[in-house]
Structure 1
Amino acid sequence: MSDPFLIGEAMTGGYGAADILHDCTLSVEKGEIAVIVGPNGAGKSTAMKAVFGMLPLRKGEVRLGGKAITSLSPQERVRAGMGFVPQTANVFTSMTVRENLEMGAFIRQDDFSDTMDLVFDLFPILKEKATQPAGELSGGQRQQVAVGRALMTKPSVLMLDEPTAGVSPIVMDELFDKILEVAATGIAILMVEQNAKQALNIADKGFVLVQGRNRFTNTGEALLADPEVRRSFLGG
């Protein structure tokens, strides 16, 4: 069988001597949304960082499009087609919305105006506020800037770490709608999300991590319907 488009396979690693991930595997196909959920301290964001190259692995491998990228730096992974949106400090607050998006295109040598137009079509509020400093925007609007900036690199994979952290339920629903729209363009989406029920509702695939290990892996629908998953991780 061929590889998934992106896979972090049997990843073991951590910070210093202590391993946080233990034989953890995550994967996602193009146009698919894969969600990583689990209790606090389960290693969700750590697993995401491992896939992006921000955490050294003692064992395991990361492959993108069938090619091993385990030895690549995060910067090299961006050039290979990975976009990463961290949970915090993910916009340049003193720069305008448009300048933030332009920063996202820093690796590109071509004309990126078409991509800018696509981002403005996806997030109309950003076009409206293009000349406003990003620091003046609401939390949900800042998240749109952060996602838009990652999309400016024309990634084949978009990785989101807690994209709805700290936003209202209405804004969360809006962001999830936008994530569905991004996936519909053929981009693979791998995200960590604290709002597990809502995230699994839009997920093609879900990974439940506990203490850095895979506990359950299935479709979002199947995980939502699993009594043990519901009882232990989704509040019943």
Structure 2
Amino acid sequence: MSFLIGEGMTGGYGGADILNGCTIAVDKGEIAVIVGPNGAGKSTAMKAIFGMLNLRQGRVMFDGEDITALSPQERVLKGMGFVPQTHNVFTSMTVEENLEMGAFIRRDDYRQTMEQVYELFPVLKQKRRQPAGQLSGGQRQQVAVGRALMTQPKVLMLDEPTAGVSPIVMDELFDRIIEISRTGIAILMVEQNARQALNIADKGYVLVQGANRYTDTGEALMANPEVRRTFLGG
């Protein structure tokens, strides 16, 4: 069984199901990417795995344990980090204060982790005394990812990490995501830039109407003519 798996997930908001039996999994040190058209349930699948959505059917297993009934807070304590697409930094607080907020569950000395975040994102060290609200979109994303890393997660979940950033910043963020995965952290992300995301993915999931349409390695999905034509713009 995979390190993290949302298995046969069915659920939604109110009476309507957005997810229809979909399964998403990722292993340690892997990058798994969820792609698909707008309204396919990509972000909803992430929220379900993180416990922000009650499932009517299915379960979430993490490191061999059934965590379906746990709250998001309890999942963070187990080792899950989640970076939402928007409103993911405290704009009035400095970069360093944002990172300190990420360490709120820690009872040990977190300064070494903060140094690791600064090594990963050098610009944050330069701007550590600056309010996060004054940063560019790409730099804010780095703060959000850095804050999640401060909890020392075993799984890092990213919802549209490159939304609204320039192609150069997107490439840089993807490079950092690869670096993070090489430390053994499992990465699960939803991404609009499907072609670029599948390029770095060990595993890819194409969702349509809340169900798995294609599941394969990133490389195989990139090479699949049907996937290319329908989801990657030819």
Whole-Å separation in 2 of the counterparts to 1:135 and 1:80: 30
User: Unaligned stretches of 5+ in structure 1?
Assistant: none
Aligned to 2:40: 42
Whole-Å separation in 1 of the counterparts to 2:200 and 2:35: 13
Instruction: In structure 2, give the amino acid aligned to 1:165.
Output: A
Displacement of 1:41 = 0.4
Aligned to 2:213: 215
Displacement of 1:99 = 0.1
Instruction: Describe how 1:102-181 pairs up with structure 2 within 5 A.
Output: 102-181=100-179
Structure 1 length-normalised TM: 0.99
Aligned to 1:54: 52
Identity of aligned residues (%): 78
Whole-Å separation in 1 of the counterparts to 2:141 and 2:183: 19
Instruction: In structure 2, give the amino acid aligned to 1:17.
Output: G
Aligned to 2:196: 198
Aligned to 2:233: 235
Considering only aligned residues, what root-mean-square deviation do their CA atoms show, in Å?
Answer: 0.3
Whole-Å separation in 2 of the counterparts to 1:91 and 1:202: 26
SS at match of 2:56: strand
Displacement of 1:124 = 0.5
SS at match of 1:57: coil
User: Unaligned stretches of 5+ in structure 2?
Assistant: none
Whole-Å separation in 2 of the counterparts to 1:59 and 1:178: 35
> How many residue pairs align between the two structures?
234
1:109-168 per-position Cα deviation (integer Å, ceiling 9, x unaligned): 111001001100100000010000000000000000000000000000000000000000
Structure 2 length-normalised TM: 1.00
Instruction: In structure 2, give the amino acid aligned to 1:202.
Output: I
